[in-house]
Copies of this chain bind each other. A is one copy, B any other.
Amino acid sequence: MEAVKLKKKDCKIVVAVDESEESMYALSWCLCNLISQTTINKLILLYVKPPPPVYSSLDVAGYIFSGDVIRALETYGNDLVNSVMGRAEDICGKFSSDVNVEKIVSSGDAKDVICKIVNRIKPDTLVMGSHGYGFFKRAFLGSVSDHCAKHVQCPVVIVKHPEKI
Protein backbone atom coordinates (compact mmCIF):
# COMPACT_ATOMS: atom_id res chain seq x y z
CA MET A 1 0.00 0.00 0.00
CA GLU A 2 1.41 3.41 -0.99
CA ALA A 3 0.50 5.02 2.33
CA VAL A 4 2.93 3.06 4.43
CA LYS A 5 5.86 3.61 2.13
CA LEU A 6 5.36 7.39 2.19
CA LYS A 7 5.33 7.85 5.99
CA LYS A 8 8.66 9.27 7.02
CA LYS A 9 10.35 10.73 10.05
CA ASP A 10 12.76 12.89 8.10
CA CYS A 11 11.67 15.34 5.48
CA LYS A 12 14.19 16.93 3.13
CA ILE A 13 12.97 19.71 0.87
CA VAL A 14 14.94 21.66 -1.72
CA VAL A 15 13.73 25.16 -2.58
CA ALA A 16 15.32 26.73 -5.65
CA VAL A 17 15.75 30.42 -4.84
CA ASP A 18 16.80 33.37 -6.93
CA GLU A 19 16.38 37.13 -6.84
CA SER A 20 12.74 37.02 -7.96
CA GLU A 21 9.72 37.78 -5.78
CA GLU A 22 8.23 34.59 -7.11
CA SER A 23 10.92 32.37 -5.66
CA MET A 24 10.51 34.01 -2.23
CA TYR A 25 6.78 33.41 -2.48
CA ALA A 26 7.45 29.75 -3.36
CA LEU A 27 9.63 29.49 -0.24
CA SER A 28 6.85 30.99 1.90
CA TRP A 29 4.35 28.55 0.35
CA CYS A 30 6.66 25.67 1.19
CA LEU A 31 7.05 26.76 4.81
CA CYS A 32 3.27 27.17 5.14
CA ASN A 33 2.25 23.95 3.43
CA LEU A 34 5.02 21.37 3.56
CA ILE A 35 6.71 21.84 6.92
CA SER A 36 5.08 19.62 9.48
CA GLN A 37 5.55 19.56 13.24
CA THR A 38 5.64 15.77 13.14
CA THR A 39 8.75 15.46 11.00
CA ILE A 40 12.39 16.45 11.26
CA ASN A 41 12.60 19.06 8.55
CA LYS A 42 15.65 19.90 6.54
CA LEU A 43 15.22 22.74 4.08
CA ILE A 44 17.92 23.18 1.47
CA LEU A 45 18.06 26.58 -0.22
CA LEU A 46 19.60 26.14 -3.66
CA TYR A 47 20.86 29.14 -5.59
CA VAL A 48 22.39 28.83 -9.04
CA LYS A 49 24.51 31.67 -10.35
CA PRO A 50 24.80 32.14 -14.11
CA PRO A 51 27.97 30.58 -15.50
CA PRO A 52 30.99 32.89 -15.21
CA PRO A 53 31.47 34.76 -18.49
CA VAL A 54 34.59 33.97 -20.46
CA TYR A 55 36.31 37.34 -20.56
CA SER A 56 38.41 38.12 -23.53
CA SER A 57 41.02 40.77 -22.92
CA LEU A 58 39.41 42.62 -25.84
CA ASP A 59 35.65 43.03 -26.11
CA VAL A 60 33.88 43.24 -29.47
CA ALA A 61 34.47 46.98 -29.76
CA GLY A 62 38.20 46.52 -29.19
CA TYR A 63 38.30 47.90 -25.62
CA ILE A 64 40.49 46.23 -23.09
CA PHE A 65 38.62 44.88 -20.03
CA SER A 66 40.53 45.85 -16.94
CA GLY A 67 40.93 43.47 -14.00
CA ASP A 68 38.91 46.02 -12.01
CA VAL A 69 35.83 45.51 -14.18
CA ILE A 70 36.08 41.73 -13.91
CA ARG A 71 36.51 41.93 -10.14
CA ALA A 72 33.55 44.33 -9.87
CA LEU A 73 31.33 41.85 -11.76
CA GLU A 74 32.42 39.02 -9.49
CA THR A 75 31.74 41.10 -6.40
CA TYR A 76 28.30 41.97 -7.72
CA GLY A 77 27.55 38.25 -8.24
CA ASN A 78 28.64 37.41 -4.69
CA ASP A 79 26.61 40.29 -3.24
CA LEU A 80 23.57 38.98 -5.07
CA VAL A 81 24.05 35.48 -3.61
CA ASN A 82 24.35 36.91 -0.10
CA SER A 83 21.31 39.11 -0.58
CA VAL A 84 19.10 36.28 -1.89
CA MET A 85 20.23 33.80 0.74
CA GLY A 86 19.87 36.37 3.52
CA ARG A 87 16.34 37.17 2.49
CA ALA A 88 15.46 33.48 2.22
CA GLU A 89 16.86 32.79 5.70
CA ASP A 90 14.85 35.70 7.12
CA ILE A 91 11.68 34.17 5.69
CA CYS A 92 12.55 30.76 7.16
CA GLY A 93 13.23 32.33 10.56
CA LYS A 94 9.87 34.07 10.59
CA PHE A 95 7.96 30.87 9.96
CA SER A 96 9.56 28.34 12.21
CA SER A 97 12.59 27.72 14.32
CA ASP A 98 12.16 23.95 13.90
CA VAL A 99 13.58 23.95 10.40
CA ASN A 100 17.18 23.05 9.82
CA VAL A 101 18.26 25.28 6.93
CA GLU A 102 21.17 24.45 4.64
CA LYS A 103 22.44 26.44 1.70
CA ILE A 104 23.91 25.31 -1.59
CA VAL A 105 25.33 27.79 -4.10
CA SER A 106 26.34 26.53 -7.48
CA SER A 107 26.83 28.01 -10.91
CA GLY A 108 25.90 27.09 -14.45
CA ASP A 109 22.72 26.79 -16.46
CA ALA A 110 20.06 26.86 -13.72
CA LYS A 111 17.84 24.15 -15.20
CA ASP A 112 20.65 21.64 -15.62
CA VAL A 113 22.31 22.41 -12.30
CA ILE A 114 19.05 22.16 -10.31
CA CYS A 115 18.23 18.77 -11.88
CA LYS A 116 21.72 17.44 -11.31
CA ILE A 117 21.88 18.50 -7.66
CA VAL A 118 18.32 17.39 -6.86
CA ASN A 119 18.81 13.98 -8.43
CA ARG A 120 22.03 13.59 -6.44
CA ILE A 121 20.76 14.59 -2.99
CA LYS A 122 17.32 12.98 -3.51
CA PRO A 123 15.06 15.24 -1.44
CA ASP A 124 11.43 14.39 -0.72
CA THR A 125 10.27 17.43 -2.68
CA LEU A 126 11.60 20.21 -4.91
CA VAL A 127 9.81 23.56 -4.66
CA MET A 128 10.30 26.36 -7.17
CA GLY A 129 8.65 29.41 -8.69
CA SER A 130 7.23 29.03 -12.16
CA HIS A 131 8.61 32.19 -13.75
CA GLY A 132 5.47 32.45 -15.77
CA TYR A 133 7.00 34.14 -18.76
CA GLY A 134 4.77 35.26 -21.58
CA PHE A 135 4.14 33.03 -24.56
CA PHE A 136 7.14 34.01 -26.69
CA LYS A 137 9.74 33.84 -23.97
CA ARG A 138 8.38 30.50 -22.79
CA ALA A 139 8.07 29.07 -26.29
CA PHE A 140 11.58 29.99 -27.37
CA LEU A 141 13.61 29.93 -24.20
CA GLY A 142 11.68 27.27 -22.35
CA SER A 143 11.23 27.51 -18.63
CA VAL A 144 13.43 26.27 -15.82
CA SER A 145 10.43 24.83 -13.96
CA ASP A 146 9.15 22.95 -17.05
CA HIS A 147 12.56 21.39 -17.51
CA CYS A 148 12.94 20.45 -13.84
CA ALA A 149 9.42 18.98 -13.64
CA LYS A 150 10.40 16.64 -16.48
CA HIS A 151 13.87 15.69 -15.33
CA VAL A 152 13.98 15.48 -11.55
CA GLN A 153 12.96 12.25 -9.89
CA CYS A 154 11.15 13.62 -6.81
CA PRO A 155 7.78 15.38 -6.60
CA VAL A 156 8.03 18.98 -7.85
CA VAL A 157 5.91 21.88 -6.62
CA ILE A 158 5.60 24.78 -9.05
CA VAL A 159 4.33 27.93 -7.34
CA LYS A 160 3.14 31.01 -9.21
CA HIS A 161 3.10 34.38 -7.54
CA PRO A 162 -0.61 35.26 -7.29
CA GLU A 163 0.00 38.83 -8.40
CA LYS A 164 1.89 37.76 -11.51
CA ILE A 165 -0.64 35.38 -13.03
Q: Which residues of A contact B (CB under 8 A)?
A: 1-3, 6-8, 24-26, 28-29, 31-34, 36, 91, 94-95, 124-125, 130, 132, 138, 145-146, 149-150, 153-160, 162, 165
Contact = CB atoms under 8 A, between A and B. Distances in A.
Task: Determine which residue in A25, A36, A153 has the highest number of CB atoms from chain B within 10 A of its CB, and name it.
Answer: A36
A66 B104 CA distance: 64
Most B CB atoms within 10 A — which of A6, A29, A124, A154? A6
A104 to B, nearest CB: 22
Given A6-B28, A158-B155, A125 B33 contact: yes
A82 to B, nearest CB: 20
Contacts of A95: 3
Contact of A155 (B153, B154, B157): B157
A90 to B, nearest CB: 10
A121 to B, nearest CB: 15
A32 B7 CA distance: 7
Given A2-B24, A24-B2, A29 B155 contact: yes
B157 A157 contact: yes
Contact of A2 (B7, B28, B138): B28
Given A3-B31, A6-B28, 9 more contacts: A2-B24, A2-B91, A7-B32, A26-B155, A34-B34, A132-B150, A155-B159, A156-B157, A158-B158
Nearest to A125: B33
Given A157-B156, A158-B149, A158-B158, A91 B28 contact: no
A129 to B, nearest CB: 10
